[in-house]
Amino acid sequence: MAIVKQDAIIGGVRDVVTGVRRCVRCVMPANYPGISIDADGICNFCRYFDTHWGLWIASDEVKARSEAKLRRIFAAAKRKGKPYDALLGISGGKDSSYCLYLCQEVYGLKVLTFTRDNGFLSDESKARIEQLVKVFSVPHFYYQNPMAVELAGIFMRKTGNFCTPCELGTFNPNIVVAREYDIPLIVLGSSGRTDGTPPKFLNPWDPWYFNKVIKGEPCYERLTKSGVARNYFIQEGLARLLGRRRIICLPNYVEWDEEEIAELFAREYGIQFGEEHSDCIVDGVKDYLYSKKCGGASPKVVKYSLLVRSGKISREEALARIEEDEEQDCVLGLGRFLELTGMTVEEFEAASERSPEPYLKGISRVFNFLRRRMRLQAI
């Protein structure tokens, strides 16, 4: 376990082993993009978290009101009398699996499920998805974009980040399927309270940004006419205002304990989960890229900090996990990523120095600012 001591001059706690100064409450490092540490040694992300989630975490009454609101949303969807009450994308991970459990087993929704295969979906996750579909007896289908891997290569070469096509390629199919089947709810397993996401300027995925990056590529004309690049955000905002469809982030409304979720599925259904994001065979590559641009802090550090703020783990345990992660001396999944995208190691390393920022102009910056506010995320 890492040993820490107080840094009396500039506040915070300095990790003696690595020399990294961190927030005294969570484990966010002082060199993380957008961070500031006050005179008490507490970072702005902790302060933001307390403002938006502190009362929810501390009060059973507030949690009960939140869950009651969720029940009203679900009841309204059921009253519409559609063939399906909710659409849910499942990846075989804990979050989407628990969403399925809650929607069907706890709240009694009629759920249509689908899986987006972006070319990086692991065999482990595919096997778990088969288990879930069988155990819960839900209709399910796969959606696959044949250009997903090619797009990952394009974005990696230009922006140093290959996640945008996957992010946008997850959101848009939700809209297309929900419209086709007239489904009033789209359920997501993500939340600013539980997800260790990188800074938004490193992971933008709005259609304006997407189109700027692919402009000039041979696939540009074809993609701008496809559902991948289509802009559904404004239309879906209107659908929400008119009461036709709603997107909800389920962890915003109910308690979300990943260890308890894993124990539930193992005990009740014999389903075992792997590491977080084990659905993606190149998740280690993603972590490496973000870590390189975030002062050495990968999304796991952000996630550990969220767990500390939520009271799920101690700060000491978070530091121990960081130290264990740092012992890994290779980029997991890099060989497979290079093979699929056709990049050399030299090309990859050169691209890893690039940033999405040159393509973030005007409306993209406004959209990503609003997305942070809507998702209650400081980062």
pLDDT digit string (tens) for the chain, length 379 residues: 333 333 333 345 555 445 689 999 999 999 999 999 999 999 999 999 999 999 999 999 999 999 999 999 999 999 999 999 999 999 999 999 999 999 999 999 999 999 989 899 999 999 999 999 999 999 999 988 888 899 999 999 999 999 988 888 888 888 889 999 999 999 999 998 998 888 888 888 888 888 899 999 988 887 776 666 677 777 777 777 778 899 999 999 999 999 999 999 999 999 999 777 778 999 999 999 999 999 899 999 999 999 999 999 999 999 999 998 887 778 989 999 999 999 999 999 999 999 999 998 777 666 666 555 545 544 4
Q: Among residues 275, 278, 300, 274, which one has the least CA distance to residue 287?
A: 300
- Answering whether pTM is above 0.75, one says yes
The pair of structure tokens assigned to 218 is 């041979």
326 — phi, psi (to 5°)?
-70, -15
Interior CA angle at 115 toward 119 and 204, to 5°?
65
Compute the half-sphere exposure of residue 59: CA atoms within 13 Å on the CB side of its CA. Answer: 13
Distance from the first to the final alpha carbon of the chain: 27
Residue 317: Cβ-neighbour burial (10 angstroms; 0-12, 13-18, 19+)? middle
Q: Among residues 219, 218, 213, which one has the least CA distance to residue 162?
A: 213
The pair of structure tokens assigned to 99 is 């969403």
Local structure of 116: helix, strand or coil: strand
Average pLDDT over the chain, rounded to an integer = 88
Name residues whose C-beta falls within 8 Å of residue 221's C-beta, 6 or more positions apart in sequence.
Answer: none
Distance CA 360, CA 368 (A): 9
pLDDT at 135: 96
CATH topology for 63-280+346-374?
Answer: Rossmann fold (3.40.50)
